Every structure is written in C-alpha cells, then in structure tokens.
C-alpha cells in the first residue's frame, strides 16, 4: 500500500489543562522522507504539537494518523514500535550511562543485533565513537545532542521528531548539529524539526509550518517561507523564530 503522507495531523486541539487548549485546530502533514520544520513565537504550541504527535499528550479533539493508522490516544511506547522516535529538548540522554550504553538503551524495543546499528551511528557521529566509554553526563552540549539523535536512530525510525535541537548551543555547534540533521534526512528518515532558529531551519527544510496562537498560520516550501515578507517581519528579523 502506498501512502501519500507518513504523518497527518487533522484539526487537533490539545493542552495540559482541561478546557484550555494550546493547540487550536492544527493541521499538519509530513510525506515519507520529508524534512518539515515547525517555527513560531514562544508559546505558539510548537513543543505541544510534538508531544501530541508522540503520545505524550492526548488531543481533546482531532486525529493523528501515522503510516495510514490512527494513532490518536496511543501511548508513546506503542508509537515507538510503529516507527516514530522523539528527541526532547532536555533530559534526552541517561547521564550516568556511557555513550555506548545510551545507544543500546535507544534500541530497547528491538530484538536485533546491536553492533551493526552502533557502528552505523558511530560512522555518522565520529565524535561519539571517540567517547563511547565516556559517561553521557560529561559530554559537551553539542555531543549530548548528537548522542540524543543517535539514540533515537538506533530504532531506525521512519519519522524522527526533534524538539529544539539547537537550544543553548554555540553557533559552531548549531551548524554541526544542523549538518547532521540534513545527513539523517538524506538517508531517508523523515524529520519534524521544531526549532527556535527559524532561518537556519527553513533554509534546509522541504516545507515549513508557522504556528501562531496554536494554529497553523502559514505553511509552504521552506525557501518560499524564507522569502515571505510576513514571515520575515515576524520571525526572521533577528534570525529567531522562538
């Protein structure tokens, strides 16, 4: 069966308090292998959307479909088993475990030989190979982010959700992390990138979605949004979309 969209979010309303919705009718689509970035001002609902997609938050209304299956209301572990992985902004590695042990934990639901998977991650992130015996809690911010993404990729997901991967990183590390995200996408993994650095995110995205007050205010090809005067005025003036 051929599917037009890997992920479909239809008219989703969701929030953390009863009768108070942060997401107010969001519609969102991701095709297989596509890199879609979500930008918008602080409080627009970007991270809330990622959590709703991954089952950390159950929508009050609306549906979320993944690989043609309605996953609305499923728990995160059930969604992982269907081929989706989420890398949160914080608390995304096990600090007391080594780099290698973190990668092994990333594949906890899989019954496959782990060494070929680890070798693949180490090829993608050579710095992690150099530090494979080092405790994750002693890594730099950029190395932690690489480990968090590598841990997610141990599942070989069809879709990777990244929540603010450039947060609190130096400009050089931001560039490195974004290069790795592009490389992951070139390998065939679809990515939803929730990002504060709107300009950099749109530059490499196939499509962008601007959230505003819990709604998908503007969507379109990444380059088109970069050149959109309204998007530029509201979100790109200082190179920030957060």
pLDDT band at 240 (very low <50, low <70, confident <90, very high): very low
In a domain, 2, yes or no: no
In a domain, 161, yes or no: yes
Q: Which of the pair, 91 or 33, is modelled with greater confidence? A: 33
In a domain, 241, yes or no: no
Residue 140 clears pLDDT 60, i.e. is over it: yes
pLDDT band at 129 (very low <50, low <70, confident <90, very high): very high
pLDDT at 3: 66
Residue 35 clears pLDDT 90, i.e. is over it: yes
Least-confidence region, from 165-169, 195-199, 219-223? 165-169
In a domain, 152, yes or no: yes
Least-confidence region, from 57-71, 90-104, 106-120? 106-120
Residue 112 clears pLDDT 70, i.e. is over it: yes
Please state whether the predicted TM-score (pTM) of the whole model is above 0.85: yes
- Domain ranges, residue 211: 7-236
- Residue 161 phi, psi dihedral angles, 5° rounding: -100, 120
Domain count, the chain: 1
In a domain, 211, yes or no: yes
Give dist(CA 95, CA 193) in Å, integer: 24
Residue 239 clears pLDDT 50, i.e. is over it: no
Residue 76 clears pLDDT 90, i.e. is over it: yes
pLDDT at 70: 97
pLDDT at 232: 81
Residue 89 clears pLDDT 90, i.e. is over it: no
CATH code for the domain in which residue 45 is found: 3.40.50.300
In a domain, 1, yes or no: no
pLDDT at 153: 92
In a domain, 142, yes or no: yes
Q: Which of the pair, 215 or 236, is modelled with greater confidence? A: 215
In a domain, 242, yes or no: no
């Amino acid at each position: 069966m051929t599917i037009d969209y890997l992920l479909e979010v239809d008219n989703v309303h969701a929030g953390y308090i009863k009768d108070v919705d942060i997401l107010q009718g969001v519609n969102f689509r991701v095709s297989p292998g596509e890199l879609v970035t979500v930008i918008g001002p602080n409080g627009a609902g970007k991270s809330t959307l990622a959590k709703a997609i991954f089952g950390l938050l159950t929508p009050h209304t609306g549906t979320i479909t993944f690989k043609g299956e309605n996953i609305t209301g499923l728990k995160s572990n059930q969604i992982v088993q269907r081929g989706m992985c989420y890398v949160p902004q914080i608390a995304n590695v096990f600090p007391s475990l080594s780099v290698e042990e973190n990668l092994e934990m990333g594949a906890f639901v899989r019954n496959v030989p782990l060494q070929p998977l680890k070798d693949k991650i180490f090829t993608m992130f050579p710095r992690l190979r150099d530090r494979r015996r080092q405790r994750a809690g002693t890594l730099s911010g950029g190395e932690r982010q690489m480990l968090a993404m590598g841990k997610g990729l141990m599942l070989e997901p069809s879709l990777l959700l990244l929540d603010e991967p450039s947060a609190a990183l130096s400009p050089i590390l931001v560039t490195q992390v974004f290069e790795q995200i592009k490389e992951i996408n070139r390998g065939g993994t679809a990515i939803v990138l929730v990002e504060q650095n709107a300009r950099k995110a749109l530059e490499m995205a196939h499509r962008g979605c601007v959230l505003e007050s819990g709604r998908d205010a503007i969507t379109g090809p990444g380059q088109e949004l970069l050149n959109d005067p309204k998007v530029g005025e509201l979100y790109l003036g200082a190179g920030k979309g957060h």
